[in-house]
Amino acid sequence: MKKTLTRSLLAAAFVTASAFAATAQETPECIAPANPGGGWDFTCRQIGKILQDEGLIDKTMQVVNRAGGGGGVAFAEVVNKRGHDDNLIVAASSATATRLAQGAYPGNTTDQVRWLAAIGADYGVIAVAADSKIETLPQLLDKLKADPGSVAIAGGSAVGGWDHLKVLIAANAYGIEDVRKVKYIAFDGGGEAVTQLLAGSVQAFTGDISEAKGFVDSGDIRVLAVLSPERLDGAFADFPTAREQGVDAIGANWRGFYAPGGMSDAAYDAWVEKLSTLYASDEWKQVMEANGLAPLDLQGAAFQQFVTDSVAQIQSISRDIGIIK
């Protein structure tokens, strides 16, 4: 009887240990809710690399691109199919909050996921192809004011999303009364939007400075304005702000992560700690400086409240400019 009991206990212990080992060995995954080349893709890949460089994860982060619906496809997958995955994080931004604020993820709400941490703020830009005859933001907005249909502007978020809102905020600030006439074309990520700009399909691009920088460095696009309160430092010091051109428009896109709503408390706390440690690292500070990211240090409950407040604010803006009633 004792031998049988001992064998049973050993077997149970072996099964428990095996299950623990299998969980510990699972590959961490980051979903980028857009095609490669945009801000969400940048967020997943940079964070995954640094988490491994800093020894915060044992395996290479698997980055999975789930484009569609301005992030809605990824959000629905996490809520409906992966609600208890302890090894999954998802890149998010002001674009995510915008779509949630406007009810663009049918049946989905902010509280269906757990918000982990912010890792910086990415100021918006409005840009044109390098060979464009449009040289300033007022010139672009004058064209929009005279004939809204003559200028198509591409962005990496859905219609009514954060990229779209940035253009509408600038147009509204410039005195364009019916901003709903502004022609905005949505693509699945900033990379695709810039490709269409270079192909001549659209006349301008709206996105974030981190996703625009590579195209500026390659000489493909020219930034008309950064939507920051004042000029950024370092490699971005030559980019004029909208404000200094007489357009009082500010657009900061926070970047961060959410996790499945059913993630265990232990896993949630561990991810919050990992991202907090990463945020304080010298390597991440260098990435922020190189890509024009402004500081935004929020984790756990503080970030959860920040997102809730952001959604409320964006709902108010969206009503003001006629996106929602």
In angstroms, the CA 33 to CA 44 distance is 10
- Contact, 216 vs 131, CB < 8 A? no
The percent of residues in the chain predicted with pLDDT above 90, rounded, is 71
Q: Is the pLDDT of residue 28 over 80?
A: yes
pLDDT for the residue 157: 87
The percent of residues in the chain predicted with pLDDT above 70, rounded, is 92
If asked whether residues 213 and 226 sit together in one domain, one would say yes
pLDDT for the residue 178: 86
The residue from 227, 251, 275 where one domain ends is: 251
The string of pLDDT tens digits covering residues 116-175 is 999 999 899 999 999 999 999 999 999 999 998 899 999 998 888 889 999 999 998 999
Please report, for residues 53, 119, 163, 188, 197, the alpha-carbon distance to residue 151 in angstroms, rounded to integers and kept in the order given.
44, 34, 16, 20, 12
If asked whether residues 115 and 264 sit together in one domain, one would say yes
Residue 16 belongs to some domain of the structure: no
Average pLDDT over residues 112-119: 97
Residue 306 belongs to some domain of the structure: yes
Kindly report the CATH number assigned to the domain that includes residue 265. Answer: 3.40.190.150
Residue 14 belongs to some domain of the structure: no
If asked whether residues 127 and 247 sit together in one domain, one would say yes
If asked whether residues 118 and 133 sit together in one domain, one would say no
Residue 87, classed as helix, strand or coil, is coil
- Contact, 161 vs 99, CB < 8 A? yes
If asked whether residues 114 and 260 sit together in one domain, one would say yes
Residue 178 belongs to some domain of the structure: yes
If asked whether residues 187 and 246 sit together in one domain, one would say yes
pLDDT for the residue 235: 83
Average pLDDT over residues 283-292: 92
Q: Is the pLDDT of residue 2 over 60?
A: no
Q: Is the pLDDT of residue 25 over 70?
A: no
pLDDT for the residue 263: 98
If asked whether residues 233 and 259 sit together in one domain, one would say no
The residue from 251, 275, 303 where one domain ends is: 251
Q: How deeply is 89 buried, as exposed, middle or buried, from its count of CB atoms within 10 A (0-12, 13-18, 19+)?
A: buried
Please report, for residues 155, 159, 203, 233, the alpha-carbon distance to residue 188 in angstroms, rounded to integers and kept in the order given.
8, 11, 18, 30
Residue 22 belongs to some domain of the structure: no
Residue 2 belongs to some domain of the structure: no
Q: Is the pLDDT of residue 23 over 60?
A: no
If asked whether residues 190 and 159 sit together in one domain, one would say yes
The residue from 251, 277, 309 where one domain ends is: 251
pLDDT for the residue 19: 37
Instruction: Determine the structural domain holding residue 238 and report its residue range.
Output: 123-251
pLDDT for the residue 125: 96
Mean pLDDT (the chain, rounded): 89
pLDDT for the residue 159: 86
pLDDT interval class at 17 (50, 70, 90): very low
The string of pLDDT tens digits covering residues 204-233 is 999 998 888 889 999 999 999 999 999 988
pLDDT for the residue 15: 36
pLDDT for the residue 180: 84
> How many separate domains does the chain show?
2
pLDDT for the residue 11: 42
pLDDT for the residue 228: 92
Q: Is the pLDDT of residue 22 over 50?
A: no
Average pLDDT over residues 259-269: 98
- At 261, the amino acid letter reads G
Residue 17 belongs to some domain of the structure: no
Residue 49 belongs to some domain of the structure: yes
- Pinpoint the alpha helices (H) of the chain: 2-25, 39-53, 72-81, 94-101, 137-146, 162-173, 190-198, 209-217, 265-279, 282-291, 300-320
